[in-house]
Structure 1
């Protein structure tokens, strides 16, 4: 957690910018006091780009930064996964509902390259509830290696937010233990 930094000095003390007549005395004491109060503000403004970069921001600032890009975190996510998710949030939102975005989301959340397949049913109808080609159910299947240590229910809940409303998500384990 960030707090006050002891003995933080201003990069540009105000006393040095006063006319020579004020080089000594009470004016210098006043500007030193103002420098002490304003130094944290000026330092924060000088480092603002670091607060907005997911790779550099302090860990307690990540939830605030994530709220800017409409991303939430699961309890079991590591800090590295959280930073990667915030960094990739805009492109994930842009590709939401596509296989590419789901593959990248699974990779970010689990750290593995999962195989993602879908049922392939595509079509349209002029009537609500009309027949659509393909399978009876639109399904995205996530194939995870058997050594994957991830909460499958949490992953399924997160992935269901990334697919269209009519598509369900099914998680399978590749090469399940015999």
Structure 2
């Protein structure tokens, strides 16, 4: 692709061949940049760095497809953090278990003044998990997403 004047010059050809070798890796990376930013396609060693961009906590012991799924769904998991739905989704995604949150805290509203307040406030939330799971792993996931002011109790139920 050199002009005709340089195409026959041996020095120009050797010089540009050397530049091709140096720049090919850079050009290849730039051409494939969208693939690096996609959790489904990013190289495994780049996935950890990509997870830090979205504050996704990855366990190195997780299989690669699970780590990719956590990075891909990180923003949705952050939106649900501290909610019953978010906790159930996190347990399902990271441990593959079915869970239910029995929310203890009460809340009421009324259009009329002086409405009764909820009964005695419950200071704990019960997280029920079904199946054969490692209790420590479940408790670690629950502790990582449970609000600080609430005490979460894990109950593991046998499959019916």
TM-score normalised according to structure 1 size:
0.74
- Provide the rounded CA distance (Å) in 1 between the counterparts of 2:141 and 2:95: 12
1:1-178 to 2 correspondence within 5 Å? 16=1, 18-24=2-8, 25-122=10-107, 134-139=120-125, 141-148=126-133, 150=134, 152-175=135-158
- Provide the rounded CA distance (Å) in 1 between the counterparts of 2:45 and 2:119: 48
- Provide the rounded CA distance (Å) in 2 between the counterparts of 1:133 and 1:161: 29
Mind listing any 5+ residue stretches in structure 1 that lack a counterpart? 1-15, 124-130
Q: Over the residues paired in the alignment, what is the CA RMSD in angstroms?
A: 2.3
- Provide the rounded CA distance (Å) in 2 between the counterparts of 1:27 and 1:59: 39
**Number of aligned residue pairs:** 151
Question: Does structure 1 conserve the Cα–Cα contact (< 8 Å) formed by 2:91 and 2:98?
Answer: yes
Is the partner of 1:157 in helix, strand or coil?
Answer: helix
- Provide the rounded CA distance (Å) in 1 between the counterparts of 2:92 and 2:64: 15
Mind listing any 5+ residue stretches in structure 2 that lack a counterpart? 109-116
Question: Does structure 2 conserve the Cα–Cα contact (< 8 Å) formed by 1:122 and 1:134?
Answer: no
- Provide the rounded CA distance (Å) in 2 between the counterparts of 1:83 and 1:53: 9
1:128 aligned residue: none
Question: Does structure 2 conserve the Cα–Cα contact (< 8 Å) formed by 1:120 and 1:134?
Answer: no
- Provide the rounded CA distance (Å) in 2 between the counterparts of 1:39 and 1:171: 54
Determine which structure has the larger helix proportion and give its number.
Answer: 2
- Provide the rounded CA distance (Å) in 2 between the counterparts of 1:103 and 1:32: 57
Question: Does structure 1 conserve the Cα–Cα contact (< 8 Å) formed by 2:39 and 2:71?
Answer: yes
User: CA distance change for structure 1 residues 155 and 146 in 2, over 3 Å: closer, same or farther?
Assistant: closer
Is the partner of 2:62 in helix, strand or coil?
Answer: coil
